[in-house]
Each structure stands twice: as structure tokens, then as C-alpha cells.
Amino acid sequence: MMSLPFLIFACALGAAWLRQRGVAIGLWVAGLVVLLVLFRIHVTEVLSISL
Amino acid sequence: MPAELSRLLNAIGLMAIVTVLALAFIDQLWFRDLPCPLCILQRVGFTAAGVGIALNLIFGPRPSHYGITILGASVGASISIRQILLHIVPGTGSYGNAIFGLHLYTWAFIGFALTIIGSAILLFDDRQFAHPEPWSNRLDVLPLTALVTFFLLAVGNVVSTLLICGIGLMGQCPDNPTQYLLFH
């Protein structure tokens, strides 16, 4: 699952190379959403700082 | 800014991101410093930022492409800040090797900040978006090398992350990996 955003961005690059700009940008948005979800999943520890 | 200068500066920017991703691989393979989940996500952040620069090289410079780079780098910077905060209190340890006194997540934050600043500076020049000269489809050596290497590093990270985290669902990636999970 952690490799999924790399795969999506690699596909976005492939689409860009094939001159499919809309597809490339769509894939980039999907990759960014997956990245944010994975970030949320891995933010599990409470920071040991008091503000 | 002439189109060719814009392409050259974008190619240099993409080469800088390629260098960062390649150095991360060297640290992983040569010094056996396996990346933690947040470290992997920071690599994803650099890849997300690099896609915008790649779009500039392939389709010509557009504000939306710089926006992609800035958004990708902003998410990456957020991840590196989170990891810096995990270790900011003295006595809370650190993760991985230090290079020139700073850990890789601190260097990553500096890299993301420079990417955002560089993109913002390049956005200043509106003349690159006016298309006074046709955007050549033929790529020179530097942009082509940057694009191909960037793509290969993205694919390499797919393989590397699969080896470290396995092919299971999310949450399987160990916080402190000491071995390639797929081999065990």
C-alpha cells in the first residue's frame, strides 16, 4: 500500500510522456490524496511537547 | 524569461529532486539505513513535487504545473515537520544517520522549502507563460536525462517500498524497519 503513491505518480509521468495532460494531472491528484491518507494513518504518536 | 531558459531552470530543478531521491537510495542501499514510513512518505512528497516540474518540461511552463510542485512540496514539508517534532525534545532520540549534523528529515524539510521558494521565484516571470515562441517537443540532453532518471527513481521506489513494507494492506510497514519485510 505504501508503494501505491509512487506507482500512481509513475503512471502520471507515463501519461504526461504520452501527451495526456489531463490524465497526468488527474493521476497526480489521486496520488496526492493517497499520500495524505497514508500520512494520516502513520500519524499515531502524540508529540511529547506542550504548547 | 525565454522558453528555453525556463526549460533549463526546470530541468535543473528536476535534477535537484532526482539527486535527493538518489541520495536517499544510496543511504538505504550502501549504509543499510532502511527508511521508516514517514521517511518513505517524504520521498513520495519529493516525487509529487517533481511531477509538476516534469509537466513543465513536457508541456511547457504553466502556473498550474508550478502549483502542483508547490502543493506536493507543501505536503512533503508537513510530513518532515511532523518527524522533526517527534524528535525535537532532547532525549527523544532520532531516526537514521545524520549527515553534516542534520538528520535526513531535517534535510528533507530544507529541500521542500527550497522547492517551494524556487517555484515561487520562477512564477514571478509572466513572460514564460506568454508562449511568444513555440514550445519545442524535442527535449535536450539535460531535460531528457532528468525526466528518464526521475521516472526510473519513482519505479525504483515502488519496488523498494514493496520490499520494505510487503504487499499487505496499510499499517503493515514497521515503524523502525530493520529488514526487508518481503524477504521474511
| Count of CB atoms situated within 10 Å of the CB of B25 | 16
The whole-angstrom separation of Cα B84 and Cα B108 is: 10
Residues of B in contact with A42 (CB under 8 A): 37-38, 41, 173
Residues of A in contact with B78 (CB under 8 A): 39
User: Residue B156 corresponds to which amino acid?
Assistant: G
Query: Domain limits at B145?
Result: 3-183
Question: Scanning every residue of chain A, which has its alpha carbon at the shortest distance from the alpha carbon of B148?
Answer: A13
What is the residue-level pLDDT of chain B in tens, covering all 184 positions? Answer: 777 888 899 999 999 999 999 999 998 889 888 889 999 999 999 999 999 999 999 999 999 999 999 999 999 999 999 999 988 887 777 777 778 888 999 999 999 999 999 999 999 988 888 765 556 667 889 999 999 999 999 999 999 999 888 776 655 677 777 777 766 6
pLDDT of residue B93: 74
For helices B37-59 and B3-29, angle between their N-to-C axes, nearest 10 degrees: 160
Strands B102-103 and B98-99: antiparallel
pLDDT of residue B134: 57
pLDDT of residue B165: 86
DSSP tag of B167: S
pLDDT tens digits, one per residue of A6-42: 999 999 999 999 999 999 999 999 999 999 999 998 8
User: Residue A26 corresponds to which amino acid?
Assistant: G
Q: How many domains does chain B have?
A: 1
pLDDT of residue B113: 98
User: Residue B163 corresponds to which amino acid?
Assistant: L
Residues of B in contact with A48 (CB under 8 A): 89, 92
The whole-angstrom separation of Cα B114 and Cα B119 is: 8
pLDDT of residue B136: 63
Instruction: Name which of A4, A9, A45, A50 to mutate to probe chain B: the one with the most chain B Cβ atoms within 10 A of its Cβ.
Output: A9
